[in-house]
Amino acid sequence: MGGLRTHRLLLIATTALLAGVLAIPAKLAPAPGRTRVSLDGGPSTMVVHPETPVPAVMPAPPPPPRQEHAIQPPADVSSLAPEPTPGTVGAAAYRDRAPIVRAPTTEAAKNVYGLIVGINDYPGTTSDLQGAVPDAEDMSDVLAMYGVPADNVRTLLDGDAGTPQINDGLSWLVGATKPDSTVVLFYAGHVRKISDQTEAIIASDGGVLPDWYLAKQLESLPAHNVWIVMAACYGGGFTELMAPGRVLTAAADANSLAYENDSFDRSYVDEYLIHQGLLEKRGDGPTAQQAFNYAQAALERDYPDRTLTEFDQATEAISLDGVHRAAPASDADGSGGAGDSALPGVPSPDDPPPAPPSGPPSPPPPCRNLLGLLCPPGSR
């Protein structure tokens, strides 16, 4: 009897001991949401419970996709027919424009003038563009944003940008400006490469205005500070228009095509130079040089093969609000920087002055020859 009782007590004690041993891991396990501390004799290790979120580092958003096309008309110029209807703007499904409130006009802004040309709608149906009109409208919006009076800006779009209207606009600039004026001459549309040294803008009626002709028209322009923007192919070839005080900013050099990007329904030069650099004020100021510096750096980051070309002979900053500012430092060679004084086709100050013209230049005839011998393939 005593042995049986002893046996039962031993069994109960063994069971209790086994239950205690099995309970040790559960006691050592950390409770949910608590920190576990290592007891292995080494440095204490803090382990964060999985329920505690770790902040993620978000990368910079990528640039819009490269849905682009060259701004290039067909080789056969006979396809540039029939004539467009004058006074109309071709329809285009481009990005909605944010409303721009014209700033109050200051005395300085009253001395800023702009001739802005944008052509989407060319004769026929195979040469039309998408981004030239938005490009021009952005430039007009910039001048309004800086308080330039509406009467100081002529914006010629599509059917209003024929050969006579462009010639009249150039004559208006010559007659309206003064030596201390600031002028913006902006062109977005097709350009043809006539020869190795000659480029020409194409009016909405198919008329051809070569660089030498435009230079003649602007020879007597009184304004010293002039910003010439070519949102077109071969734009860097329009150095004939250069003179002291002028800046030429182009979407491409004299031998390269320019492109529109369907992702933002504009050319690269407008999206980065005009829209972002000036309208969105990412260029940190109202000058052409500040906008260019921003645009060039941003394009090198986003689309390094779409950087701009600029020749800068300015003696002061080209300020779109009309305020005279000191010229920024010049450190570029004309192949994408700011400030090149050795321009192809532009005589140096040491050269003898050219003989004065015998009379005013005649407007060049529209390029409509069927073989296209005078109009080799070009593009915007």
pLDDT per position as a tens digit, 179-208 = 999 999 999 999 999 999 999 999 999 999
Alpha-carbon dihedral sign for residues 277, 282, 283, 286: positive
Confidence class of residue 102 from pLDDT cuts 50, 70 and 90? confident
Smallest CA-to-CA distance from 143 within 316, 318, 295 is with 318
Identify the pLDDT of residue 267: 96
Which residue in the block uniquely carries the two structure tokens 């140096």?
348
Residue 27 pLDDT exceeds 90:
no
Contact 217, 174 (CB under 8 A): yes
- CA pair distance 107, 324, nearest whole angstrom: 12
What average pLDDT does the segment 224-252 reach?
98
Average pLDDT over residues 123-137: 92
Reported confidence tier of residue 19, pLDDT bands at 50, 70, 90? low
Q: What is the pLDDT of residue 101?
A: 83
pLDDT of residue 1: 54
pLDDT recorded at residue 354: 44
Determine the pLDDT at residue 127: 87
pLDDT at 375 over 90: no
What are the angstrom distances between the C-alpha of 103 and each of 24, 252, 373? 78, 32, 48
pLDDT band at residue 31 under the 50/70/90 scheme: very low
Quote the pLDDT of residue 98: 66
Closest-CA residue to 67 (of 225, 266, 221, 213): 266
Amino acid at 43: P
How confident is the model at residue 264, as a pLDDT? Answer: 86
Distance CA 212, CA 199 (A): 9
Angle (nearest 5°) at CA 129 between 127 and 134: 155
Q: Worst-scoring range by mean pLDDT, 39-53, 213-227, 287-301? A: 39-53
**Per-residue confidence at 155, pLDDT binned at 50, 70, 90?**
very high
Percent of the chain with pLDDT over 70: 61
Whether residue 89 has pLDDT greater than 70 = no
Angle at 138 between CA 191 and CA 183, to 5 degrees: 70
- Which among 344, 346, 342, 348 has a CA at the least distance from the CA of 330? 342
User: Is it the case that residue 23 has pLDDT exceeding 70?
Assistant: no
Q: Which of 58-67, 210-219, 317-326, 327-336 is least confident?
A: 327-336
Contacts of 132 (CB under 8 A, 6+ apart): 71, 118, 119, 120, 188, 189, 231, 267, 380
Complete edge-to-edge strand list for the sheet that includes strand 246-250: 153-157, 112-118, 182-188, 225-231, 246-250, 309-312
Does residue 350 surpass a pLDDT of 80? no
- The predicted structure's pLDDT at residue 380: 62
Residue 282 CA to residue 94 CA, distance in Å, equals 22
Mean pLDDT in the chain?
77
Assign 216 a pLDDT band (cuts: 50, 70, 90). very high
The pLDDT value recorded for residue 126 is 84
Taking the complete model, does pTM exceed 0.75, yes or no?
no
SS3 content of the chain, % helix, strand, coil (to 5): 30, 15, 55
Say how far residue 263 (Cα) sits from the centre of its chain: 13
Task: Give me the residues paired with residue 195 across strands.
Answer: 198
Q: Chain centroid to CA 13: how far? A: 87
Least confident of 31-40, 163-172, 290-299: 31-40
For 164, phi and psi rounded to 5 degrees?
Answer: -60, -40
Cβ-based neighbour number of residue 101 at 10 Å? 7
- 277 vs 375: which has the higher pLDDT: 277
By DSSP bridging, strand 325-326 and strand 198-202 are unpaired
- pLDDT bin (cut points 50, 70, 90) of residue 296 is very high
